[in-house]
Structure 1
Amino acid sequence: MKKITAGLTFAAVVGLSALSATPALAVTGAYPNCAAAAAEGVYNIPVGAPGYGTHLDSDGDGIGCEKSGVAYKAAQSAPVAAPVAPATGTKQIVRVPVGGADTGVATKGTDNTTLFALGGGFTLAAAAAGVIVVRRRNA
């Protein structure tokens, strides 16, 4: 009975930690170019969709790899590539995408390292609590 309880506790801790890490591991990049997107049959990629990158949007309207007469279709497998950095000395967004509010406030990217470390700490605390529970049951 003691081994079953310890095994279930361990499985629960591992399962919960895997669920909390899944969103962080699901980050995908943009297509390297429109030819790679076209090879998968993906055109008219909107901002926020998997595979979109500012380097694919030549006119800055929020749609990458534009092709008239073709509807957007999500890729079967999202590309995993490093995003292309803008050239030095140029603005990252030249024109506000359709529906965007031009507030004039500069934004900076978010760094989720702290939250990821906090989640790891909670996972270790849960594992320690599980070990304590098992040891107290055995005593």
Structure 2
Amino acid sequence: MTIALHIVTRASRQLLLACFCMLILVHLSFLLLLAGRDLSVTMLCAILFCSLCSSAYFTFIYWQRIQQSRQLSISATGEMILHIGQQKELQRTGLVVHISHKSRIWPYFLSIFLMDEAGKEHKLLILPDSLSPAAFRALRVSLIWISKHSSVR
């Protein structure tokens, strides 16, 4: 078995759903805080509706910005190359990176911190719906192998 693989992530809809659920909980707590005030029901609903719509919009825009498609290539020796560039660009640059000690590799969640040669940190948040099940499992196994067999800097 080899650890070599090439993955292309896609935006996680589970992460977007989790963000919206947290947003709803925050707005429900605001509703409880405002319920004790001397406001009419119409005014209270209008405030919460406007607040919820605007924050949902900004959450979606932020999610789109941070959840860009990423490419990661892992060689059979454990060398990792992170391909950076916009999808519209024809040329993508590749950075040689290594896994940081801050990375968390869990069965259903990968929070990967990669350090390039210049010392810049690149963060990848990968949930199971960001990849196919086989690719997610292969990436998880490869990252565990690399973290065990390389000197983490």
> Is the TM-score greater than 0.5?
no
TM-score where L is the length of structure 1:
0.27
TM-score where L is the length of structure 2:
0.25
- In terms of fraction of residues, the more strand-rich structure is 2
